[in-house]
Amino acid sequence: MNSTNPATLKDRLFDCLPAGRYALAGLLRLVDVVETDVVPTAAVECHAQPRLLINPAFVAQHAQTPEKLMMLVLHEIHHVLLGHTRRLSGPTPTDNFVFDAIINALLCRMFPQPAYTALFRDFYAGDDFPACLLRPPEGWDPAARVVPVPPALEPKGMGPARQVYTSLYSREGASYDDVRHVLRAFLQRHERALAGVPLLGDHEGEPNLASASGSAFAQGVADIVRQWPAPPEPVRGLSLDGLLRDTRVRVQRPPSVRRLLRDLISRVAAGGLTRRGAVRWTVAPMVVETPVPVPDRRAATCRALGMTPLLYRGEVAVAQRLPEQERVHIYVDVSGSMEGIKGPLYGAVLDCQALVNPRVHLFSTEVAEVTTVQMRAGVCRSTGGTDIQCVTRHMARHKVKRAVVLTDGYVGQAGPSDAQWLKSVRLGVGYLGDLIDERPLAPYADATVRLPIYA
């Protein structure tokens, strides 16, 4: 049921942010604000004209103040910004809970004043686990070294949950996996247990944001949010503007992906031969059996059991002959929408390392360079967002002429200067993920392939 006077709530939204510092007027120009009881709290609906759906009854009961109303709207907007609703085709109750825990901590960091954090403190009880993970501590000071824990986390045996909670509301920060692991450890049947925890937003009928309008809306919101001032005590990994967070990726190596990626890299490298028939030599390790004693875990185990090993497992350096060509630069999308598929993506890149530049470029809203050794260890550095402009700036600064971008395609629109550089580069794009948008990079790609990697 739509309100007969939808402008009333929109007028209240215009007054939410102090002195217009957060460009709310620009944000509201992107959407049509609709009062409705179709959603329990609020939701962003992306059609040709994006709509912000808000339940007036919920606002009257739980978001009566301008500060609470602002936090409710920003909570829903951040699902779009962080790619949650388009990352998974069917998020589970656990996924929705984890998303909300991260977003609530992020918003509390941005607006730590009690009037703003009251939405989460009043809506979720501190003596109820796991709902307490969705609220900040009572009397919380983001600059303090000690984070108070809610009563539900005080009992003995709740140590891991306390650790994750204090990380969420301290400078350390916590990842999606940190929260998810706590739920798995403390709730044997967490899917059913979480069903009783009320969440902000319409998690039962999340709109599919993979449409062109959804992508454009997300990019428009991201452009506005970049103008917002940084939080006074930013948390690594929980900021949308320039803070990198180190995480670990479990590397996997699917053979079919390796073949497709090798083919894409070769197509980008084609024409880059220094001279016809030229070759180069590289050295790679090979595992062999040898009678010469070398440090070997299997041999050590045999000796411990009283047996004398006849052969040892060691490594020798073997020369490999490869065509001489310009190394291809690999740009790997490690934004939030790529969560869950980074492992096989890392493995595919490592399987092709003889064909690419020794340093791999991880990109989100910044480019972070890692070595193949770091990739093998699963090192990942990301701000959580995505912006193709950081890639084009890196290409221009390092005069990159041959590159492969591995992404789901949700990288935003290239500006005029970015488009000019992308057109000058021999560019290959490998698309992967449940939902793919080829439009942003299609005008610049010389070769494309879809890699069978899904979240």
Query: Which tokens is 232 given?
Result: 């006074």
Determine the pLDDT at residue 6. Answer: 45
Inter-residue contact 242 to 366 (CB < 8 Å): yes
Tell me, which fold does domain 255-272+326-450 have in CATH?
Answer: Rossmann fold (3.40.50)
Adjacent-strand bridge partners of 356: 328
State how far the Cα of 442 lies from the Cα of 455, in Å rounded to an integer: 23
pLDDT of residue 123: 94
Task: Using the structure block, give the residue that is written with the tokens 């428009």.
Answer: 220
User: Tokens in use for 22?
Assistant: 């957060």
- pLDDT for 181 equals 78
Give the C-alpha separation, 54 to 431, whole Å: 35
Rg of the Cα atoms in the chain: 25
In the numeric block, which tokens belong to residue 226? 């970049």
∠ CA(239), CA(139), CA(187), 5° rounding? Answer: 70
pLDDT of residue 263: 84
pLDDT of residue 453: 73
Are the CB atoms for 164 and 179 separated by under 8 Å? Answer: yes
Mean pLDDT per block of 10 residues along the chain (455 residues) reads: 51 58 56 82 71 87 89 82 53 81 88 92 92 92 86 86 87 75 68 72 50 49 52 44 53 66 82 46 65 71 71 69 68 80 83 83 90 85 81 91 90 84 92 81 92 71
With 0-12 / 13-18 / 19 or more C-beta atoms within 10 angstroms meaning exposed / middle / buried, residue 266 is middle
Q: Which of 334, 436, 430 is nearest to 380 (CA)?
A: 334
Strand partners, 362: 332, 368
pLDDT value of residue 273: 40
Please report the pLDDT score of residue 448 as a whole number. Answer: 92
Verdict on whether the full-model pTM lies above 0.85: no
Could you tell me which residues are beta bridge partners of residue 450? 431
Domain positions in the chain are: 7-236, 255-272+326-450, 284-323
Which residue, chain included where needed, has tokens 């825990």? 101
Q: Is the dihedral of CA 434, 439, 443, 444 positive or negative?
A: negative
Question: Distance between alpha carbon 186 and the CA centroid of its chain, in Å?
Answer: 25
Indicate if the alpha-carbon torsion angle 406, 409, 411, 412 is positive or negative: positive
Cα dist. 199→111, 120, 194, 312 in Å?
Answer: 20, 10, 10, 58
Task: State the amino acid at position 314 in one-letter form.
Answer: G
Amino acid 329: pLDDT: 93
- In this prediction, residue 256 carries a pLDDT of 58
